Amino acid sequence: MRGDVPPVGRARRSPRAAYPPGLKRLRQDLAELYGFHFKDPRRERLFISSLSFLVTWIVVRVIVHLIRAGVGPFHNVSAGGTHIHHLVWGILLLLVAGYLAQLEANDSDRLRFLVAVLFGVGAALTLDEFALWFFLADVYWARQGRDSVDAVIAFFGLLSLGIWGGPFLRELTRRFVRRPALAN
């Protein structure tokens, strides 16, 4: 995470625009781009939370569909015959993230990163079952549990990525997607 914010009034120029081939160089360029676009630690935390949210939500939706279809190693989690919904794990992660944020260890990049990830993951797990706590009924597979929740959460995740990571993602697209395939 970057604590050095550019001085007010100074124009920010994009780092080196040329893209040399090679995986090592790719890694260096990604690190350089990331450092350039996330100098403000708050912006970085919001991006990390949003990315964690979106990735978790997609993975959870895939797993839930696999469980319902009886495919793969996944199954529902139960304790004493009671189904434990994944929003429970989400709430626990949100509580842990909130507690860790209260430590005010602002000098710890690792802690700030961990809190951002835990918050994003916890929010995704919790909001994926929004209909459960809104309707106080297990309507996950019913119309009210699927259509609106899917649309709202997907929109939130993509919008957040665009808002907090927009400049970084645009630069990635400009440098890597519009370039020929890597040599080496």
Kindly list the distances between the CA atom of residue 37 and the CA atoms of 50, 105, 171, in Å, as whole numbers in the listed order.
Answer: 15, 23, 9
pLDDT in tens, the chain (184 residues): 444 444 444 445 555 555 556 788 888 888 898 888 888 888 888 888 888 988 999 999 999 999 999 999 999 999 999 999 999 999 999 999 999 988 876 678 888 899 999 999 999 998 888 888 877 788 888 877 776 577 667 877 776 776 777 788 778 888 877 665 555 4
The b-or-e profile of 50-71 (16+ CB within 10 A means b, else e) is bbbbbebbeebeeebeeeeeee
Query: What is the reported pLDDT for 40?
Result: 80
Residue 63 included in any domain: yes
Q: Which residues pair with 104 in a beta bridge?
A: none
Contact 87, 133 (CB under 8 A): yes
Query: What is the reported pLDDT for 137?
Result: 82
Residue 85 included in any domain: yes
Query: What is the reported pLDDT for 142?
Result: 85
Tokens linked to 9: 């009034």
Residue 34 included in any domain: no
- In one-letter notation, the amino acid at residue 51 is L
Residue 164 included in any domain: yes
Residue 48 included in any domain: yes
Query: What is the reported pLDDT for 12?
Result: 53
Residue 29 included in any domain: no
Find the domain containing 60 and state its range: 39-177
Residue 134 included in any domain: yes
Query: What is the reported pLDDT for 21?
Result: 61
Number of structural domains in the chain: 1
Q: Which residues contact 37 (CB under 8 A, 6 or more apart)?
A: 165, 167, 168, 171
From first CA to last CA, the distance across the chain in angstroms is: 30
Query: Is the whole-model pTM more than 0.75?
Result: no
Residue 11 included in any domain: no
